[in-house]
Amino acid sequence: MTHKDLHRQFVESFRHSAPYIHAHRGRTFVLVFGGEAVADPQFFNLVHDIALLHSLGIRLVLVHGARPQIESRLKARKAKLVYANGLRITDNAALACVKEAAGCVRVEIEALLSMGLSNTPMSGAHIGVTSGNFVVARPLGVRDGIDYQHTGEVRRIDGEAIRQHLADRRIVLLSPLGYSPTGEVFNLSAGEIATAAAAELQAEKLVIMAEGKPPRDSRRRLISQLSLDESTKLLESRRRLPADTKRHLQHAIQACRHGVRRAHILDRSINGALLLELFTRDGHGTLVTAETYEGLRAANIDDVGGILELIKPLEDKGVLVRRSRERLEIEIAHFLVIERDGMIIACAALYPSDKNTLAELACLAVHADYQGTGRGDALLQKIEDRAARTGIRKLVVLTTQSAHWFRERGFLPGNKSDLPVKKKDLYNYQRNSKVFFKLLN
């Protein structure tokens, strides 16, 4: 290639990346990589790319793992590695290794970022890094009789504090540790922390720098893009995926379901994978995107299967009264649903009584993955509109476990006499549901 060709190529690729540079400025990206990446002699390449993103005005949260560093410390102490259901059991000896390894890895990353990246094109770029107690943890506890001891899970991310540091142009660095309000330290998974942080910060992107190749299709070609629905189907399919790939996909799905717009799974071993993915049209990894269709509408007969699937776990827990498929088919016209990506994620039903001024709100349910995001409110609002339009003045609801949810939305405690006559006869005394009513304007 001649000098002229090289120049033309440079100018073209720089121009092509300009729209991406513009689009990414001021956005928050959460980037997670394993301890393997830090141990790699080429790690400075990744740090260089991170510094470049920072200098382009991208707000960065880095989450590092420390698996190989922890394991080598455990081995050196001749301590046993104990796993159950794919999770490490962190006993006292292991926790000491975790703290040591996480501390060392953190310091190494901070040092590289502080170096101003001498001998690289980013030399002189001063990068402020902050780490701290941003992750509140709780113990995993005892599951199936196994005590996971100091292995924990994320309870909460201090989003407010992280946002402040990001606004001060600092990179926030999170280690695979969390602290409980009782002052205990827990060993957490870096992937879980990154997913929770991305959701809490409503990040533009969660970027997973994976060990090993991103997901491939049945013909072993890289899958470059997946919708949420496609990713879920891939996970549930009979294709055998490596455990790490599965976990990355689960994290990507979870982040997208909680408001992160895009999750990227990249092959960490490719030099520049991060830049290729973020600044070129096609990228080199797998993009899981949450840009989906979602709508709230009246249910039809084709939704019966989806509604049954949604309410089954709640029926099993005794939260909702059991409904047979036959009964649901007959009553389907009473239902409203929220459909997302072809899946029913929420439903509610309105049953007017004979007199038509009173109606029962029933079977209000939001899929566990989507709770706490206002969908219950949206359904209630639509039910109230539907009721008011048909002259209904009073709504009643029977609930065993969501009394406060209704009270906070203007429902008042009532008694059995508020129920429609037909319902009164069917009232199931064993369930001992509470009755609430709301007068509509």
Ligand X SMILES: CC(C)(COP(=O)(O)OP(=O)(O)OC[C@H]1O[C@@H](n2cnc3c(N)ncnc32)[C@H](O)[C@@H]1OP(=O)(O)O)[C@@H](O)C(=O)NCCC(=O)NCCS
Binding site for ligand X (CB under 6 A): 314, 319, 362-366, 371-377, 397, 399, 401-402, 404-405
Distances (CA, A) of 199 to 64, 195, 196, 280: 17, 6, 5, 25
Q: Which is nearer to ligand X, 165 or 367 (CB)?
A: 367
> What is the 8-class DSSP label of residue 90?
B
Q: Which is nearer to ligand X, 54 or 434 (CB)?
A: 434
Pairing, β 286-289 against β 59-64: unpaired
Contact between residue 261 and residue 204 where contact means Cβ atoms under 8 Å apart: yes
Shortest Å distance, C-beta 78 to ligand X: 47
Q: Which is nearer to ligand X, 36 or 200 (CB)?
A: 200
Per-residue DSSP letters for 211-270? SSPPPB-TTS-B--EEEHHHHHHHHHSS----HHHHHHHHHHHHHHHTT-SEEEEEETTS
Partners of 282 in the β-ladder = none
Q: Which is nearer to ligand X, 131 or 399 (CB)?
A: 399
Q: Which is nearer to ligand X, 209 or 337 (CB)?
A: 337
Q: Which is nearer to ligand X, 318 or 391 (CB)?
A: 318
C-alpha 126/C-alpha 124 separation (Å) is 6
User: Can you tell me whether residue 342 is helix, strand or coil?
Assistant: coil
Shortest Å distance, C-beta 337 to ligand X: 13
Lay out the sheet containing 294-298: strands in order across. 294-298, 335-340, 343-352, 358-366, 394-399, 434-439, 412-413
Select the residue whose beta carbon is closest to ligand X and give its number.
376
Shortest Å distance, C-beta 33 to ligand X: 32
Distances (CA, A) of 47 to 50, 146, 218: 5, 39, 34
Q: Which is nearer to ligand X, 185 or 311 (CB)?
A: 311
Closest listed residue to residue 345, CA positions, set 225, 232, 198: 232
Shortest Å distance, C-beta 268 to ligand X: 36
Shortest Å distance, C-beta 164 to ligand X: 22
C-alpha 287/C-alpha 22 separation (Å) is 20
Q: Which is nearer to ligand X, 253 or 320 (CB)?
A: 320
> What is the 8-class DSSP label of residue 432?
T
Shortest Å distance, C-beta 156 to ligand X: 12
Shortest Å distance, C-beta 175 to ligand X: 28
Can you give the three-state secondary structure of 24-36, one letter per residue? HCCCEEEEEECHH
Q: Which two tokens stand for residue 393?
A: 């003045």
C-alpha 143/C-alpha 232 separation (Å) is 25
Q: Which is nearer to ligand X, 96 or 321 (CB)?
A: 321
Shortest Å distance, C-beta 348 to ligand X: 8
Q: Which is nearer to ligand X, 94 or 435 (CB)?
A: 435
Q: Which is nearer to ligand X, 20 or 405 (CB)?
A: 405
Partners of 84 in the β-ladder = 87
C-alpha 66/C-alpha 99 separation (Å) is 10
Strands (E), 313-374: 335-340, 343-352, 358-366
Contact between residue 125 and residue 113 where contact means Cβ atoms under 8 Å apart: no
Length of the chain counted residue by residue? 441
Shortest Å distance, C-beta 430 to ligand X: 16
Shortest Å distance, C-beta 377 to ligand X: 4
C-alpha 209/C-alpha 268 separation (Å) is 5
Shortest Å distance, C-beta 435 to ligand X: 12
